[in-house]
């Protein structure tokens, strides 16, 4: 589904809204070899975001998360410019998880990078 430009947002109980994250879409998987972060195109993010990767070492083996990595500026707002060019100036780099999948959905022993 594609976004549609409108002058006013729809109102009513049948409408739901979500935050628009302006970051890097990322898959985070933990298998028997450790944690891997990568993009939908297969670009590895693990070494670019070592603190995020380290945090996911606490997840159970076989966990796969789909989410977005964002940079937070000094005003507490998401900044794509900081994420792309000035990460060292970011107040925080965060991973917002959208979906969590368990090992029950992925055959044991196969690396998550085979998804790409």
Determine the longest span between alpha carbons in the chain, in angstroms.
Answer: 51
Share of the chain above pLDDT 90, in %: 48
Question: What is the pTM for the complete model shown?
Answer: 0.74
- In 3D space, the residue among 52, 68, 65 whose CA is nearest the CA of residue 106 turns out to be 65
Residues 33-49 have pLDDT tens digits of: 999 999 988 899 999 99
* Per-residue exposure over 63-92, b if at least 16 CB sit within 10 Å of its own CB, e if not: bbbebbbbbbbeeeebbeebbeeeeeebee
Assigned fold of 24-105: D-amino Acid Aminotransferase; Chain A, domain 1 (3.30.470)
Which residues, 6+ apart, have CB-to-CB distance to 41 below 8 Å? 116
Whether the CB-CB separation of 99 and 66 falls below 8 Å is answered with: yes
Distance CA 45, CA 58 (A): 18
DSSP bridge partners of 37: 28
Whether the CB-CB separation of 100 and 59 falls below 8 Å is answered with: no
Q: Where exactly are the structural domains of the chain?
A: 24-105
pLDDT at 9: 82
Residue with tokens 């998987």: 29
Residue with tokens 């739901």: 16
């Amino acid at each position: 589904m594609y976004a549609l430009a409108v002058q006013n947002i729809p109102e009513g109980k049948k409408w739901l809204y979500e935050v628009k994250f302006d970051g890097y879409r990322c898959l985070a998987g933990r298998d028997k070899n450790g944690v891997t972060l990568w993009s939908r195109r297969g670009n590895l993010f693990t070494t670019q975001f070592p603190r995020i990767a380290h945090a996911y070492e606490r997840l159970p083996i076989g966990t796969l998360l789909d989410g977005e990595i964002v940079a937070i500026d000094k005003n507490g707002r998401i900044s794509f410019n900081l994420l792309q060019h000035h990460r060292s100036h970011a107040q925080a780099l965060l991973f917002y998880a959208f979906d969590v999948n368990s090992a029950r959905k992925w055959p044991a022993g196969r690396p998550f990078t085979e998804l790409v």
